[in-house]
Amino acid sequence: DSGVTQTPKHLITATGQRVTLRCSPRSGDLSVYWYQQSLDQGLQFLIQYYNGEERAKGNILERFSAQQFPDLHSELNLSSLELGDSALYFCASSVGGLAKNIQYFGAGTRLSVL
Amino acid sequence: AQKITQTQPGMFVQEKEAVTLDCTYDTSDPSYGLFWYKQPSSGEMIFLIYQGSYDQQNATEGRYSLNFQKARKSANLVISASQLGDSAMYFCAMREPTLTGNQFYFGTGTSLTVIP
């Protein structure tokens, strides 16, 4: 168990809908990262937050947004969902502020858009 | 250009033998980090080993070691004494600093099968 909690484990929804994925980082970790893993795109970095502030952006679509709350949990919001958004979404956390920045991953949320 | 390249889509190894999984990377930043993760069929991503760009010695963690050749920009993972439980996807990743945070890049992975 990595200590990173993601909910829900599975999500099934329809095209055009909006969903929210939740992540609780490991105790003491200030940084949260979101990733999308799909068969055709592999593992893609989406966005990083550190202590509530956005710090780095990767290949995140404009339909997607994220935030990190004062208690350090994070949410990834996906809107106007398309079939191609079906993927495994990972959250990872790290202590942050250090060069090493080892990320520990949650179990992921599997999103199916029908 | 790809930031992380893993050229072996699939590898087979006999139980108890050693295996090397290849990874090359591309960066012009002098400060970067290299990681290997294991993803079993259950789906979770498990951290295995880390190598910093300024680290003089190759990283080791139990049966895992990282063969870091900076001039060649390679960071191969060596698994010694393979076990059946090592069968999984293995991903090489790189951290590059940005002005305010870090960008992470993952390779396409290598599927390792350990044969009894």
What tens digit of pLDDT does each residue of A46-91 get? 999 999 999 989 989 999 999 999 999 999 999 999 999 999 999 9
The pLDDT of residue B97: 86
pLDDT at A40: 79
d(CA B113, CA B111): 7
Cα A93 to Cα A51: distance, rounded to the nearest angstrom: 11
Strand A74-78 relative to strand A64-68, pairing: antiparallel
Structure confidence at residue A97 as a pLDDT band (50, 70, 90)? low
Nearest to B45 among A50, A58, A90 (CB): A90
- Provide the pLDDT confidence category of residue B12 given band limits of 50, 70 and 90: very high
Residue B30: burial class (beta carbons within 10 Å; 0-12, 13-18, 19+): exposed
Distance between CA A3 and CA B81 in Å, rounded?
Answer: 28
List residues of chain A with CB under 8 Å from any CB of chain B: 2, 31, 33, 35, 42-45, 48, 50, 55-56, 58, 88, 90, 92, 99-108, 110
- Residue-wise pLDDT for B56-103, tens only, equals 999 999 999 999 999 999 999 999 999 999 999 999 999 998 888 888
Mean pLDDT over the full length of chain B: 95
Which of B49, B102, B110 to probe by mutation at the A interface, max A CB count within 10 Å? Answer: B102
In angstroms, the separation between the Cα of residue B47 and the nearest Cα of chain A is 7
Q: How far is A80 from chain B, CA to nearest CA, in Å?
A: 26
The predicted-structure confidence for A3-20, as pLDDT tens digits, reads as follows 999 999 999 999 999 999
Residues on chain B touching A42 (C-beta within 8 angstroms):
106-109
Residue that is written with structure tokens 């200590």 in the block: A3
Asked if B50 is an interface residue toward chain A (Cβ–Cβ < 8 A), one would say: yes
Indicate the SS3 state at residue B56.
Answer: coil
Q: With contact defined as beta carbons under 8 Å apart, do A24 and A5 qualify?
A: yes
Q: How confident is the model at residue A98 (pLDDT cuts 50, 70, 90)?
A: low
Instruction: Check A55 against B98: CB less than 8 A apart.
Output: yes
Residues B33/B51, Cβ–Cβ less than 8 Å: yes
Kindly state the percentage of chain B with pLDDT values over 90: 89
Q: With pLDDT > 90 as the criterion, what percentage of chain A qualifies?
A: 82
d(CA B112, CA B87): 5
- Cβ-defined contact of B35 to A43 (cutoff 8 Å): no
Confidence of residue A99 (pLDDT cuts 50, 70, 90): low
